[in-house]
Structure 1
Amino acid sequence: MRIPVSWLVQQLELTEDYRDLSAQQVADAFVRVGMEVEEVSELGPVTGRVVVGRVAEIEELTEFKKPIRFCTVEIGEPEDPDDAEPETTQVICGATNFVEGDLVVVALPGAVLPGGFAISERKTYGRVSRGMICSARELGLGDEHAGILVLPTGEEAAPGDDAIELLGLTDSVIELSLTPDRGYCFSLRGLARELACALDVRLIDPAAIDVPVAEGESVPVTVTDPQACPRFVVRRVTGVDPTAPTPWWIRRRLMLAGIRSISLAVDITNYVMLELGQPMHAYDTGRLRGGLTIRRAEPGEKLVTLDDVERALDPDDILVCDESGPIGLAGVMGGASTEVRAESTDIVLEAAIWDPASIARAVRRHKLPSEASKRFERVVDPALPPAALERAARLLREYGEGSIHPGRTDVGNPTLPEPVVMPMDLPDRVAGIRYQRGVTVSRLQQIGCQVDIGTAEDGTPVVTAVPPSWRADLNQPADLVEEVLRLQGYETIPSVLPAAPAGSGLTAAQRRRRRVSRSLAEHGYVEVLPFPFVSGAVWDAFGLAPDDARRRTVKVLNPLEAERAELATTLLPGLLEAVSRNVSRGARDLSLFHIGQVVLPRAEQVPMPEVGVADRPSDADIATLKAALPNQPVHVAVVLTGNRQPPGWWGPGEPASWADAVQAARLVADAAGVELTVEKGDLPPWHPGRCARLSVGGFPVGHAGELHPKVVEALGLPQRTCAMELDLDLLPLVERRPVPSVSPYPPVLLDVALVVDAEVPAAELTRTLRGGGGDLLEDLSLFDVFTGEQIGEGKRSLAYSLRFRAPDRTLTVEEATAARDTAVAAAAERHGAALRG
């Protein structure tokens, strides 16, 4: 909502403290009462001589491809009092929307327009142009740039008058972002009321006008669906001068609010909409056929709207009809058949209240958002139509020389807000502060409530507030509390953190999750938050079998994206999409991780029960609710592509491989305090020959390795992309708070190289050596794998480094060697290993 600050200030009875109220002070006041200010923009700045001019002569220059005019413009009284000729200037102009005698705005040499546009005398098109005739956009008044700004005749302006003062170019425009529950703020009336509350000054209500009693009907009206149209009011104005221009002050306010001036009748309806918040529509009475009927559309009906588009109507659409059929799409756009035109002198003004949900659906169905529908969607004051019509009719009478028809048709009985009873001290208890006596009553009266003070049965004081007609959102005591706290200022509410009870803090699972996240980040992985919804097509790209459990997903009823309507059963789709996006933007070496929930529906899903909100659900209801929810375990996953170690002066880079994905799983296991077993695995979307199954305590918890080439190709990923995913909730919770045990005695380091069949997994050989080494074996690591003729076909050599240490003494070489020989003997017995010569 855009509105000039000067217009807002005119609706307030400002005290001495606010006589020189600035635009920034207005913005700060709005923020204090909980409204979001998008922008405060000052018009201009415009400096130098910018004056009103009268076009005295126009010479058409026809030798150019586009229209060019050489204009003589009167810009002031004669410099010499004895001279009868006024001061003039000559200007080159390409606009054609003005004629001789029109009043225009002229920027003379030396003036500077908004954007730093300096005006100077210059020669162009074979003439010397001494100034510029300005458009509204060039003056900063709006976006209209189809032609220059022509001031209406009859304005108290003469050639040579200061246009900066006349046009109000020192004004400011404030733009606010309004929430849907603040529909009344889509008007000067509503915003001025909020500003009056913020500044504690009196509001001059523009809707507080005397509405005379109707003397009969204006136009017969029939409403067939009172729910669709709770109120429909029309007023007729005759004898309107169709050539009467819109007054400049109305045009200016419309332009600054972002609305284009069209004609006097249309401009007045738009102006009243901005002023009071009541959208209106004008009909040419001569084009109406009989009375008006408000009804829902019938199948097959069509309507040509004001934009000359024929629209197929839906049975849910609300229509305004006469005897010829539909003449308007209610609350959205009028019909072309009854449009007010340049020759219209007899006008019927309509102000109605429409069902907000129906208007919202019609706007989306026909893709026709408008200023009127924006207000109807957010609820319009049902008591406002008669006052709005009276205001518009009087403006037409004043500026269009029309006559107001004595009749007025008012059909409908809209529902007004019900009284709300609230304990007097409820705002104090909610805010945790004792407000001064009378604050609650005064704040509720400020927003328009009628307030009575009484006593409840238990003797406690209560407030009975009847909300104003424009506040349909005030339905319960909590709504009244919010208004009192909002207007008193949220900053007055004390902010006190509650004391943490003893024994509280992070759970063991939360601490483990943080350790895992920190460990991966410390080893170069970057955490991302991928999209949690997936498309069913991703399972085909993964090569999953039709009966794979990961294909059984939970469907989202109202997805953000229609093609992604399933909750993910694995973290890999989102991570791989992040890889693809980053690679497309130039990244090459990626190490990403994510810790999050997946959704695993049960094989036999329990239907979700319907539980009321009047009372607390029973234990049986809660148990049924939990049984109906799908499993949502926490997984951790990583993806790698490109170089794990970058190249540099130290040597070539080290590309990421399946071993890095396995190592990421080991990092997770180490942070969780569990021992991970790595075995050969086979699970899509991993490559069957480069996939490891991850187990803890003999129970599988995840997989790691290189993705299948077909998956990489289908998803557009770099070659040799690797991934790991592990179910974090399957890992046993281990409280890792041990005191480190450090032996003061030196270790004994020994190496051993064993020749085994190539099919023997290195992980199994490692476990055998670890078990055979006994308690003295502190650590072992595989540091070399060798194949070749020297060890025979089908064989490979695995070289290990073993570290032995005793906790209570200096270990001898003989003891370490004996432990090593025991480990080698166990490997020979179980895997046929032999020492490499």
Structure 2
Amino acid sequence: MRVPVSWLREYVALPAEATARELAEKLISLGLEVETVEEVGADVTGPIVVGRVLTIEELTGFKKPIRFCTVDVGDANGTGEPQGIVCGARNFAEGDLVVVSLPGAVLPGGFAISARKTYGRISAGMICSASELGLWEDHEGIIVLPEGFAEPGADAGELLGLRDSVLDIAVTPDRGYALSMRGVAREAAAAYGVEFTDPADLPVPETTGGGYPATVADPAICSRYVLRGVTGFDPAAPTPPWMRRRLHLCGVRSISLAVDVTNYVMLELGQPLHAWDRATLRGPIEVRLARQGEKLETLDHVVRALDPDDILITDESGPINLAGVMGGLSTEISDTSTDILVEAAHFAETHIARTSRRHQLSSESSRRFERGVDSAVQLAAATRAVGLLAELGGATVEDGITHIDLSVPREPITVAVGHTGRVAGVDYPVETEIARLRQVGCEVVRNGDTLSVTPPSWRPDLTDPNDLAEEVIRNEGYENIPAIPPRAPAGRGLTHGQRLRRAVGRTLAARGFHEVLNYPFVGERDLDALQLEADDRRRTTVRLANPLNDDEPLLRTTLLPGLLKTLVRNVGRGFGDVALFEMGLVYHPRPGAPAKAPILAVDRGPTAEERAALEAALPEQPRHVGAVLAGQRLRSGWWGGGQDATWADAIQTAREAASVAGVELVVRAAQHAPWHPGRCAALYLAGAEDEAAVGYAGELHPRVVKAYGLPPRTAALEIDWGRIEAAARPATAPRVSTYPVATQDVALVVDESVPAAEVEAALREGAGELLESIRLFDVYTGAQIGEGRKSLAYALRLRADDRTLTAEETNRIRDAAVAAAAERTGAVLRG
């Protein structure tokens, strides 16, 4: 809502020294969102005056018609003599009042006016159009002022509102009253504590009847309906400059006097109006819901199929208006309309909101109706509109008035004395509460320790005691509520799980991974791209009732789709070497869970039965850690060649992530989508290898790489972090010995099918407690050891805490390790 301050001052006695920015700050403190303060016309300077055209001389011999005019500008030019001005416009005549910019004036855009010779004459100024002055959109030519507007030489800038301050207010859905000058003026009066003049306080007829016949089918869709008419309207009557200027400052385009009046009253009072050419109406008007199959061509020349939820205005010909949203084309006001019928109504907010969204048709009317308009201002608004049509368009106001009042008085809200103080944490005297509530228009009656508060008709958002508390608090000043930091209870901090999750994030970041947060939504296409089998558990998903994107209606069962799409996006933007990780929840439906979760009431807490039903419908939500790698893990440069990320990096990343929780992962070859069958590892908890794998890591399948458009040889991992957290062990300090280390190398020949991890586990078991570490440093296959065989070379580091190991002890440990490997894996010591 754009609010010209000069117009606002008509309804509220603002201090003369109050600036627009000061006003904006006060309105912001009351909770209105003033986005900008625009100083309109601030760049316009110099003499811009009213002039009367005395003579017009047509100049010939030029490519276009040119006129030399003498204009009476009073004493504004310092001499009192007529001003000679060359002008090409032809929409004015001798004797007309026009707007003249004299030499020394500067128009919008820095256009300076000076006396100069043109077309063989000296032009000492410019006769201005509205567009040249920035007053309003106008393609008709020169501004011709109405007779009696002002005397020649008067300051036209002041009379036309050339310079003004405009507040641009973003009106929230609960503040529909602020979509009017009336509503903002009431807030400004409260902010300054000054008098407010209600523009809706008009003399209206005490009796109604005899108006245009109308009926309302259901009070639930329209609680009040008013029709007032005028006859003898002059369709050629122009919209006065002051009205056109105000409409322009509010962002509304001037169309014609009849339409401009309805828009002007809407901006002034907040009540949308509609005007019909009465000659186009056929019989009585009825307000009802649409019927199946009905259509209406609206003012934007679109034929719309109507929904049974749409509120319509109809006559004997059928629908003529999409109520509260847009009028119909067949009854549009035209340039020949002389008899006009003005409608003001109070339509149901929810119906208008749904209609506007359904037809993708948002109008100034629908914006106000769906936020809630004053349910008692309709008669005043219609009276104001027909009064302006009579005053400005020469019409005669009809005595008959249609006023259908189906409204129900609002029930008072009972609120305990002191409730506002309990909400804000500040003690407000009961007198203050009552005064502030009355200031916003509430009727307040005190009954002992309670207040009976009836909100005003223009505040449909006030429905419960907390709404009333907010009114008191904001008018008393949010800034007057002391800031008291909450004191955290002693002994609280991060949980064990939270510390582990932060630690694993730091560990992966230290390895060069970047954390991402993806939406938890996927589609069937994502699961197909992962090459999942039809019976794969990850295809059993939770489907959203109202998804953000129709292509992603499912809750994810794996982190990989989001990670892979994020990887592709980064690679597509020039980041070829990418390592990403995510820690988040995945969702698995519980067997036998109900198809839909129950909808709980919002006015109370859930019962034990409701909580149980809700929890039964919720899916299992384990926490996973996933990561993807592509490109180079170590970059190349002047120091040498780089190293590409491989399946081994994915496996090692998973092991390092688990080590944060003190958990060791055992790696075994596996086949599991979406990984490459020959480069996929299943990850098991050490000591619990018979249980299901806690995750998988390796290189992605080539078909998955192609489906997602990934770089070749992309690697990925995903582990069930919940199971790792459950198996977490407390960290222990490493053993430190002051005695020297002894090393032993062993090379063992085994079948190619024997995993190296299994051989390593056997060596560890055989070596016993004196083994400090073991490392595989060579793998060899070839004719020397036979087909189907491989040689694994391990370096064993041995150390004791209390002595230096002898050669005999180290040899005995090595032999025991080799014997254990031979027994468990069939390994043979290589000669």
TM-score scaled to structure 2, two decimals? 0.92
Counterpart AA for 1:558: N
What's 2:73 paired with? 77
Structure 1 residues 833 and 293: CA distance shift in structure 2, 3 A:
same
What's 1:212 paired with? 205
Kindly indicate whether the alpha-carbon contact (under 8 Å) linking 1:92 and 1:129 is maintained by their aligned counterparts in 2.
no
Q: Deviations over 1:311-331 (max 9, x none)?
A: 232232222122222221111
Aligned partners of 1:491, 1:836: CA distance in 2, in Å? Answer: 83
What's 2:186 paired with? 193
Report the secondary structure of 1:497's partner residue: coil
Which deviates further from its counterpart, 611-620 or 495-504?
A: 611-620
Query: Which of 410, 425, 428 pairs up with 1:432?
Result: 425
Counterpart AA for 2:513: Y
1:596 aligns with 2:596: no
Aligned partners of 2:307, 2:743: CA distance in 1, in Å? Answer: 85
Q: How far is 1:88 from its partner?
A: 2.7
1:827 aligns with 2:824: no
Structure 1 residues 145 and 286: CA distance shift in structure 2, 3 A:
closer
Report the secondary structure of 1:430's partner residue: helix
Q: Deviations over 1:343-365 (max 9, x none)?
A: 22221111011122221222223
What's 1:780 paired with? 774
Query: Which of 603, 611, 614 pairs up with 1:622?
Result: 611
What's 1:283 paired with? 276
Q: How far is 1:97 from its partner?
A: 7.5
Which deviates further from its counterpart, 544-553 or 100-109?
A: 100-109
What's 1:681 paired with? 670
Kindly indicate whether the alpha-carbon contact (under 8 Å) linking 2:208 and 2:403 is maintained by their aligned counterparts in 1.
no
Structure 1 residues 114 and 695: CA distance shift in structure 2, 3 A:
farther
What's 2:37 paired with? 40
What's 2:26 paired with? 29
What's 1:13 paired with? 13
1:490-501 equivalent positions in 2, closer than 5 A: 490-501=478-489
Structure 1 residues 140 and 670: CA distance shift in structure 2, 3 A:
farther
What's 2:82 paired with? 86
Kindly indicate whether the alpha-carbon contact (under 8 Å) linking 2:166 and 2:249 is maintained by their aligned counterparts in 1.
yes
What's 2:638 paired with? 649
Structure 1 residues 518 and 200: CA distance shift in structure 2, 3 A:
farther
Counterpart AA for 1:44: G
Counterpart AA for 2:469: V
Q: Could you say what the CA RMSD is over the residues aligned between the two structures, in angstroms?
A: 3.1
Query: Which of 299, 302, 305 pairs up with 1:312?
Result: 305
Query: Which of 764, 768, 772 pairs up with 1:770?
Result: 764
Structure 1 residues 772 and 86: CA distance shift in structure 2, 3 A:
farther
What's 2:173 paired with? 180
Q: How far is 1:827 from its partner?
A: 2.5
Structure 1 residues 505 and 182: CA distance shift in structure 2, 3 A:
same
Q: How far is 1:112 from its partner?
A: 4.3
Report the secondary structure of 2:544's partner residue: coil
Report the secondary structure of 1:640's partner residue: strand
Structure 1 residues 81 and 162: CA distance shift in structure 2, 3 A:
closer
Structure 1 residues 530 and 612: CA distance shift in structure 2, 3 A:
closer
Query: Which of 324, 329, 340 pairs up with 1:331?
Result: 324
Which deviates further from its counterpart, 265-274 or 798-807?
A: 798-807
Aligned partners of 1:101, 1:545: CA distance in 2, in Å? Answer: 89
Query: Which of 253, 265, 269 pairs up with 2:258?
Result: 265
What's 1:694 paired with? 683
1:407 aligns with 2:400: yes
Q: Deviations over 1:594-653 (max 9, x none)?
A: 111111102322354565566654434433322221101111111111122222111222
Aligned partners of 1:113, 1:161: CA distance in 2, in Å? Answer: 18
Counterpart AA for 2:38: S
Which deviates further from its counterpart, 757-766 or 560-569?
A: 757-766
Aligned partners of 1:126, 1:314: CA distance in 2, in Å? Answer: 67
Structure 1 residues 434 and 288: CA distance shift in structure 2, 3 A:
same
Aligned partners of 2:79, 2:122: CA distance in 1, in Å? Answer: 24
Report the secondary structure of 1:774's partner residue: helix
What's 1:3 paired with? 3
Q: Deviations over 1:130-152 (max 9, x none)?
A: 8777665664556x375657354
Report the secondary structure of 1:315's partner residue: coil
Count of aligned residue pairs for this structure pair: 823
Counterpart AA for 1:498: P
Aligned partners of 2:93, 2:792: CA distance in 1, in Å? Answer: 98
Q: How far is 1:390 from its partner?
A: 1.4
Counterpart AA for 1:808: D
Kindly indicate whether the alpha-carbon contact (under 8 Å) linking 1:74 and 1:159 is maintained by their aligned counterparts in 2.
no
Aligned partners of 2:592, 2:671: CA distance in 1, in Å? Answer: 27
Which deviates further from its counterpart, 648-657 or 193-202?
A: 193-202
Query: Which of 808, 811, 818 pairs up with 2:812?
Result: 818
Aligned partners of 1:478, 1:282: CA distance in 2, in Å? Answer: 40
Which deviates further from its counterpart, 753-762 or 557-566?
A: 753-762
Structure 1 residues 793 and 107: CA distance shift in structure 2, 3 A:
farther
1:253 aligns with 2:250: no
Report the secondary structure of 2:385's partner residue: helix
TM-score scaled to structure 1, two decimals? 0.91
What's 2:464 paired with? 476
Counterpart AA for 2:26: A
* Structure 2 segments unaligned to the other structure (5+ residues): none
Report the secondary structure of 1:175's partner residue: strand
Kindly indicate whether the alpha-carbon contact (under 8 Å) linking 2:624 and 2:719 is maintained by their aligned counterparts in 1.
yes
Kindly indicate whether the alpha-carbon contact (under 8 Å) linking 2:77 and 2:102 is maintained by their aligned counterparts in 1.
no
Structure 1 residues 30 and 240: CA distance shift in structure 2, 3 A:
same
1:367 aligns with 2:360: yes
Q: How far is 1:551 from its partner?
A: 1.1
Which deviates further from its counterpart, 399-408 or 602-611?
A: 602-611
Counterpart AA for 1:549: R
Report the secondary structure of 1:764's partner residue: helix
What's 1:736 paired with? 730
Structure 1 residues 399 and 660: CA distance shift in structure 2, 3 A:
same
Q: Deviations over 1:526-550 (max 9, x none)?
A: 1111121111111111111112111
Q: How far is 1:736 from its partner?
A: 3.2
Counterpart AA for 1:823: A
What is the percent sequence identity of the aligned residues? Answer: 53
What's 1:397 paired with? 390
What's 1:458 paired with? none
Q: How far is 1:570 from its partner?
A: 0.9
1:92-131 equivalent positions in 2, closer than 5 A: 111-116=105-110
Counterpart AA for 2:293: G
Report the secondary structure of 2:314's partner residue: strand
Structure 1 residues 276 and 48: CA distance shift in structure 2, 3 A:
closer
1:531-570 equivalent positions in 2, closer than 5 A: 531-570=519-558
Q: How far is 1:563 from its partner?
A: 1.7
Aligned partners of 1:425, 1:81: CA distance in 2, in Å? Answer: 67
Structure 1 residues 304 and 485: CA distance shift in structure 2, 3 A:
same
Structure 1 residues 377 and 758: CA distance shift in structure 2, 3 A:
same
Q: Deviations over 1:650-671 (max 9, x none)?
A: 1222221111111221121011
Structure 1 residues 478 and 138: CA distance shift in structure 2, 3 A:
same
Q: How far is 1:469 from its partner?
A: 0.7
Query: Which of 498, 507, 514 pairs up with 1:519?
Result: 507
Aligned partners of 1:42, 1:695: CA distance in 2, in Å? Answer: 70
Aligned partners of 1:816, 1:119: CA distance in 2, in Å? Answer: 104
Q: How far is 1:81 from its partner?
A: 10
1:488 aligns with 2:476: yes
Which deviates further from its counterpart, 157-166 or 295-304?
A: 157-166
Aligned partners of 1:394, 1:22: CA distance in 2, in Å? Answer: 33
Q: How far is 1:567 from its partner?
A: 0.9
Q: Deviations over 1:103-124 (max 9, x none)?
A: 6656567654445556678999
Structure 1 residues 729 and 147: CA distance shift in structure 2, 3 A:
farther
Aligned partners of 1:488, 1:407: CA distance in 2, in Å? Answer: 46
Which deviates further from its counterpart, 804-813 or 405-414?
A: 804-813
